Amino acid sequence: MSTRRIIVLGFMACGKTTVASELARELNCRFVDLDSFITEREKRSPAEIITQDGEDTFREVETLALRDVLQDRGAQVIALGGGTWTTPANRTLIALYDCLTVWLDASFELCWKRITSSNVVRPLAPERQTAQSRFDARRNDYQLAEKQISVDDAVTATDIAKEILSQT
């Protein structure tokens, strides 16, 4: 078993937080959800920051939050926001801290189904076409992760966590 910290990344609603939480439970360690960390620190959710200040401002806040989370060695499993990995500076930061990166590769259809069935506000996916364009644009960045795990409705978060652990 690797002692490297694990970064879970992927598109909106692919299951990053759920899988990272399960992974941390399996490893008996602490996990941090970057969006929740930002919400606590900024007293506003990522959706509120994006809506009020714009995506560029949010990405700056996100990078600073990521740096702080990476500096905290206690966070062994980290779930990124859907766009965090697409910022080159964030990928550089993660590489500097030698974290294992795992892409949860879910289909657009699965992500869209989860987006539309949840009550979570997603200003970067206001309707299907915008979400699909963003999904397509991010795939090349996601493919830069060290590990790729296929996700579908038939696989549980526990199954995915065990698969990640079997590959580390």
Long-range contacts of 43-50 (CB under 8 A, 24+ apart): 45/121, 46/81, 47/120, 47/121, 47/122, 47/123, 50/123, 50/124
Compute mean pLDDT per 10 residues along the chain, 168 residues long, and list them: 84 95 95 97 96 96 97 91 96 96 97 91 90 96 96 92 90
Q: Which helix (H) or strand (E) holds 6?
A: strand 6-9
Q: How many CB atoms are located within 10 Å of the residue 14 CB?
A: 25
Domains assigned to the chain: 6-159 (3.40.50.300)
Residues composing the chain: 168
pLDDT at 142: 98
pLDDT at 168: 79
DSSP code of 146? Answer: S
pLDDT at 2: 53
C-alpha span between 85 and 139 (Å, rounded): 10
